[in-house]
Amino acid sequence: MAILSPIPNEEFSHLVSIGGGIFKSRIIHAPLAVASELLKEIEENGIMTEPIGFRKTLVDAVEEALHQTGRRIQLGETNADVKMHMKLSMVICRAKMNFVRGESLWQRLAQTAKESLEMSLSWLQSRASQRDEETLDGQEVGFQQDFNLGSDGDFEDIFGTMDFGLDETFGMDLT
């Protein structure tokens, strides 16, 4: 759970929000483990009207992960984070049992998933419209370097005559 809620640091938070690789894996695997533990705890100990003790700690960790995935979506991440946001929203719904009387658990979970996806869509549309406005204002969006491949589209125009052979780099003779 410490992975989900590290010591507050602005630079690290920014890196977590935009980073790939280990930072993206962190926001995928750690929340799934905590959410699984929370669902197991609910199954073993039943439903509570308000999370307390260990369950509250788990709920808080899942809510932090939900916040982080929401932030990544707002910054333009679309693949794993949209799905993760939906799943974590459903886990929180299940843990807090926040559905109205007369509504089945499955109806509420489906509604929660729909609301999460609608929120993600709203964030992405907002991001896209901001990008469109920046482009219309004449600001450059995207890569700052020109990766023109030249007239014949040859990668040698970019990398020159650099040899990227694995055989020499790792001492392997592949011939």
87-106 tens-digit pLDDT: 999 999 988 875 566 778 88
Tell me what pLDDT residue 175 has: 44
119-163 tens-digit pLDDT: 999 999 998 888 776 666 555 555 444 444 445 554 444 444 444
Tell me what pLDDT residue 8 has: 67
Tell me what pLDDT residue 172 has: 44
pTM of the model: 0.64
In a domain, 152, yes or no: no
Q: Average pLDDT of the chain? A: 74
DSSP-assigned letter for residue 163: -
Tell me what pLDDT residue 128 has: 87
If one compares 1 and 59, the residue with the highest pLDDT of the two is: 59
pLDDT grade for 21, boundaries at 50, 70 and 90? low
Buried b (16+ CB within 10 A) or exposed e, 54-89: ebeebbebbbbbbebbbbbbbeebeeebbebbbbbb
In a domain, 70, yes or no: yes
End-to-end, the C-alpha distance of the chain in Å comes to 48
Tell me what pLDDT residue 134 has: 66
In a domain, 167, yes or no: no
Tell me what pLDDT residue 129 has: 86
The residue range of the domain holding 23 is 10-136
In a domain, 159, yes or no: no
pLDDT grade for 167, boundaries at 50, 70 and 90? very low
Looking at the chain, the whole-number percentage of residues with pLDDT higher than 70 is: 58
In a domain, 151, yes or no: no
Cβ distance 89 to 116 under 8 Å? yes
In a domain, 157, yes or no: no
Instruction: Give me the number of domains the chain comprises.
Output: 1
In a domain, 58, yes or no: yes
In a domain, 109, yes or no: yes
Among the residue ranges 40-44, 56-60, 145-149, the one predicted with the least confidence is 145-149
